């Protein structure tokens, strides 16, 4: 017989976790990125999400508890990556309104598939926290705070000290009506492990009585929930499982001596497709139990009880209870920004696991974006859409590419225009390229020759490099290496290029399986790049699993901001608040004529050119193409001494290399700029 006894450890041995939302500003000498969850409006079905860039949910394992003792139920969701997301109820007991507070309420270290449960285990009047995880362990956090201000101390990473199998899903209930909590643990193989509390409500002693309670098995990945569903003063048993149904076992015994009898394997005809995680609570304070069911995709399905406490009747009231809070598009989100309608601002496209591409039109401006959902399936590929856009045929509009689960690249040519695109699929195997699985393409002019080269991340963590041996209008992609720069980030590499340091060449960022973003600085030149790893955790951003970076100047301030897709299907947004490198280089020790490198470079849709005049003088600033033909005169006027700048947003030009020339008196200088669509 195995038993588990509890004692309270001194504080010096515990990890203290306070109930606060950490406000993080990443500080570095050169780059500063600030996470923001609600500074850019996201509109879906006419409603603005309250915290769109807080990340998504996956494998939602739910529990509700009045964590702050204000008389209403707050919401917690365990996740695939081990996080525990907390939504505070800012409404009332009868009319709940949930607000995102943090996705890291507690940490279970290296664990994943967190399964939370709250109960006052030691009878002190405060809720303690139990978190099961994939390894089979149950993490126990003792609440040493108060009812209004809980403080959770990690007291044990393995509460029961017994291996019960993987994917531990704890549930606590007084099953024998002796006024203390007993422990039930679901697990991967479908059984229920039952630990009876033979101690007291204050000094619990949990003894394993059965590894297969009442010989119940629902298949795989069971998730138990106990509640009095028929108001007869004993606890009934519900079990979620891998196939998405809910199994209902009625207690035909008594409160002291329960007997669980299967009534249905499909309670309420509820089927959430995959991995059902049920939890019962009176969410609307009408004296009967409502039902919430988490699922594999991270939805929180809400079924309102329209019957009574004794005769419940459940009706789906919301497919996802938090759909007006966070932007959650399923699983495996990959973002791409492009000015798809040629109106001068950047629109958002997000590919997801089911192969669809979500389209959010920017109905704001280039400086104040407002992203409005137009469709969840603009374009579809077989599975795991990873979108990018580029003018691959040099005709002045954007074409579309997508990687996918099986390693191919799908190509859709834009047969419309820059203002009104029409995407027509030409091939599901672009240049017969296949990288094995999980292809994630990126296009960039890595050698500054005026055409786009192709890079493809893949499952094994390498970067495949195909140089463009053709032209900007007629590309020919030739494999140069399956391991570009000998880079290997582990698993699921997702590359992105941008000139993050404004030095005129492209730097490389790679997302990966563990949710970090690897930063490789280009220490070479725009024509002969040399990439050096600077950090495996750029901006200290951790998305949980499978980060997918995307850089875009979303606020029109001349530097690239960071968006990151993730396994959970949401997006993170980190604003670039770095001190501009231009400012440091435009503070001369003595007056002189200077022409600075444009930024950003490469650019789309606009770039800024700064220059310095030693004295009042006439200045000419012109743009030329590769053939030396003048494209436009930007400035032709008399200007005073000092610092000046101008922003150029070309219209109707193809991507490629251009030159800008400044002339003032005897001073003349020429620099390169790259338009990359």
For 195-204, the pLDDT digits (tens) are: 999 999 899 9
Domain boundary residue, one of 291, 318, 345:
318
Per-residue pLDDT at 663 exceeds 70: yes
For residue 419, report the phi and psi dihedrals to the nearest 5 degrees.
-90, -40
Q: Which residues pair with 481 in a beta bridge?
A: 465
Q: Considering the domain boundaries, does residue 80 fall inside one?
A: yes
Total structural domains in the chain?
Answer: 3
Rounded to whole angstroms, the Cα distance separating 609 from 598 reads 5
**Least trusted range by pLDDT, from 129-143, 358-372, 598-612:** 598-612
User: In this structure, are 200 and 248 located in the same domain?
Assistant: yes
For residues 479 and 608, membership in a common domain is answered with no
Predicted pLDDT at 143: 93
Pair (312, 348) in one structural domain: no
Determine the average pLDDT of the residues in 312-326. Answer: 94
> Would residue 314 count as lying in a domain?
yes
Between strands 42-44 and 371-375, the pairing is parallel
% of the chain surpassing 70 pLDDT? 93
Q: Which pLDDT does position 26 carry in this prediction?
A: 34
> pTM of the full predicted structure?
0.81
With CA atoms as reference, report the closest residue to 169 among 133, 128, 217, 214. 133
Does residue 335 share a domain with residue 299? Answer: no
- Answer yes or no: is 9 within a domain: no
Judge if 418 and 534 occupy the same domain. yes
Nearest to 391 by CA among 335, 450, 431: 450
- Note whether residue 276 is domain-resident: yes
pLDDT in tens, 62-100: 999 999 999 999 999 999 888 899 999 999 999 999 999
Claim to verify: residue 422 and residue 480 sit in the same structural domain: yes
The reply to whether 237 falls in a domain is yes
Six-digit token string for 509: 């960022």
Q: Are residues 489 and 625 in the same domain?
A: no
626 lies in which domain range?
594-675
pLDDT, tens digit (0-9, with 9 covering 90-100), for 418-431: 999 999 999 999 99
Determine the pLDDT at residue 158.
Answer: 86
pLDDT for 35 equals: 94
Residue that is last in its domain, among 318, 345, 362: 318
- Tell me the average pLDDT of the chain: 89
Length reported for the chain: 677
What tens digit of pLDDT does each residue of 440-454 get?
Answer: 999 999 999 999 999
Per-residue confidence band for 1, with pLDDT thresholds at 50, 70 and 90: very low
pLDDT band at 136 (very low <50, low <70, confident <90, very high): very high
Q: Is the predicted pLDDT of residue 7 greater than 50, yes or no?
A: no
Q: Point out the domain boundary residue: 289, 318, 347.
A: 318
Residue 337 and residue 476 share a domain = yes
Position 108 scores a pLDDT of 65
Cβ neighbours around 634 below 10 Å, total: 16
Rounded CA gap, 536 and 652, in Å? 39
Do 565 and 656 lie in a common domain?
A: no
Q: How far apart are CA 247 and CA 268, in angstroms?
A: 10
109 confidence band (pLDDT: 50, 70, 90) = low
Three-class secondary structure of residue 303 per DSSP: strand
Is 45 within the bounds of a domain? no
Helices (H), 248-288: none
Residue 282: partners with Cβ closer than 8 Å, 6 or more residues away: 73, 288, 289, 290
Q: What average pLDDT does this structure show over 298-311?
A: 95
The answer to whether residues 333 and 302 belong to one domain is: no
What is the per-residue pLDDT for 588? 33
pLDDT of residue 4: 45
For the record, the structure tokens of 109 come out as 């270290």
5 belongs to a structural domain: no
- 243 and 333 belong to one structural domain: no
**CATH assignment of the domain containing 658:** 2.60.40.1930
Give the pLDDT confidence of 199-249 residue by residue, as tens digits: 998 999 999 999 999 999 998 999 999 999 999 999 999 999 999 999 999
pLDDT for 583 beyond 80: no
CA atoms within 13 A on the CB side of 157: 11
Residue 305's pLDDT is what?
A: 96
pLDDT over 50 (residue 388): yes
Higher pLDDT, 4 or 493: 493
* Confidence check: pLDDT of 590 > 70: no
In a domain, residue 150? The reply is yes
CATH code, 398: 2.115.10.20
Beta strand ranges found along 14-159 (DSSP E) = 15-18, 33-35, 42-44, 47-48, 61-65, 74-78, 84-89, 98-102, 115-119, 128-132, 138-143, 151-156
Same domain, 602 and 474: no
In 577-613, which positions are buried (b, 16+ CB within 10 angstroms) versus exposed (e)? bbebbbeeebeeeeeebbbbbbbbbbbbbbbbbbbbb
pLDDT of residue 580: 57
CB 520 within 8 A of CB 487: yes
């Amino acid at each position: 017989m195995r038993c588990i006894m509890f004692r309270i450890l001194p504080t010096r041995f515990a990890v203290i976790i306070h109930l606060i939302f950490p406000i993080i500003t990443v500080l570095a000498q050169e780059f500063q990125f600030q996470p923001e969850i609600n500074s850019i409006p996201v509109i879906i079905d006419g409603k603005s999400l309250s915290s769109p860039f807080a990340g998504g949910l996956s494998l939602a394992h739910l529990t509700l508890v009045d964590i702050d003792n204000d008389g209403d139920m707050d919401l917690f969701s365990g996740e695939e990556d081990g996080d525990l997301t907390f939504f505070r109820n800012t409404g009332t007991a009868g009319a709940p309104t949930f607000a995102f507070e943090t996705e890291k309420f507690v940490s279970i270290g290296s664990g994943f598939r967190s399964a939370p449960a709250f109960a006052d285990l030691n009878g002190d009047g405060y809720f303690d926290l139990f978190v099961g995880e994939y390894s089979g362990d149950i993490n126990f956090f003792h609440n040493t705070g108060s009812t209004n201000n809980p403080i959770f101390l990690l007291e044990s990473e393995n509460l029961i000290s017994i291996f019960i199998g993987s994917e531990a899903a704890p549930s606590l209930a007084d099953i024998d009506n002796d006024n203390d909590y007993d422990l039930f643990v679901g697990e991967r193989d479908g059984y229920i492990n039952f630990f009876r509390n033979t101690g007291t409500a204050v000094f619990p002693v949990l003894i394993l009585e059965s590894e297969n309670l009442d010989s119940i098995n629902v298949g795989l990945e069971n998730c138990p929930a106990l509640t009095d569903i028929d108001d007869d003063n004993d606890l009934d048993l519900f079990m979620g499982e891998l196939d998405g149904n809910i199994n209902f076992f009625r207690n035909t015994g008594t409160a002291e001596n329960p007997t669980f009898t299967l009534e249905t394997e499909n309670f309420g005809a509820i089927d959430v497709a995959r991995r059902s995680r049920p939890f019962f609570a009176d969410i609307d304070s009408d004296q009967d139990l409502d039902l919430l069911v988490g699922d594999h995709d991270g939805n929180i399905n809400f079924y309102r009880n329209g019957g009574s406490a004794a005769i419940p009747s459940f009706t789906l009231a919301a497919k996802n209870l938090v759909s007006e809070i966070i932007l959650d598009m399923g699983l495996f989100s990959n973002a791409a920004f492009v000015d798809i309608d040629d109106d001068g601002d950047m629109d958002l496209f997000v590919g997801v696991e089911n192969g669809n591409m979500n389209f959010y039109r920017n109905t704001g401006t280039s400086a104040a974006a407002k992203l409005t959902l137009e469709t969840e399936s603009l374009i579809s590929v077989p599975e795991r859409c990873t979108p990018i856009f580029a003018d691959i045929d040099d005709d002045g509009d954007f074409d579309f590419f997508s990687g996918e689960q099986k390693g191919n690249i799908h190509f859709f040519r834009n047969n419309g225009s820059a203002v009104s695109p029409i995407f027509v699929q030409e091939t599901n195997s672009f240049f017969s390229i296949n990288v094995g699985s999980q292809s994630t393409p990126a296009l960039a002019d890595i050698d500054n020759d005026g055409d786009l080269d192709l890079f493809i991340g893949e499952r094994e963590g390498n970067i495949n490099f195909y140089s463009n041996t053709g032209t900007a209008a007629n590309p020919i992609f030739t494999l140069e290496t399956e391991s570009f720069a000998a880079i290997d980030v582990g698993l699921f590499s997702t590359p992105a290029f941008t000139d993050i340091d404004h030095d005129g060449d492209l730097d490389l960022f790679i997302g990966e399986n563990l949710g970090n973003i690897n930063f490789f600085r280009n220490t070479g030149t725009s024509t002969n790049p040399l990439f050096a790893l600077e950090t495996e955790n750029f901006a200290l951003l951790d998305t949980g699993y499978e980060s997918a970076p995307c850089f875009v100047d979303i606020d029109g301030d001349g530097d690239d901001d960071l968006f990151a897709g993730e396994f959970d299907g949401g997006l993170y947004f980190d604003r670039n608040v770095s001190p501009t490198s231009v400012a440091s280089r435009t503070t001369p020790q003595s007056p002189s004529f200077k022409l600075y490198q444009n930024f950003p470079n490469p650019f789309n849709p606009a770039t800024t050119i700064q220059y310095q005049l030693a004295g009042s003088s006439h200045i000419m600033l012109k743009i030329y193409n590769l053939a030396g033909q003048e494209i436009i005169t930007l400035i032709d006027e008399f200007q005073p001494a000092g610092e000046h700048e101008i922003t150029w947003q070309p219209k109707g030009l193809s991507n490629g290399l251009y030159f800008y020339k400044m002339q003032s008196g005897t001073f003349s200088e020429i620099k390169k700029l790259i338009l990359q669509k």
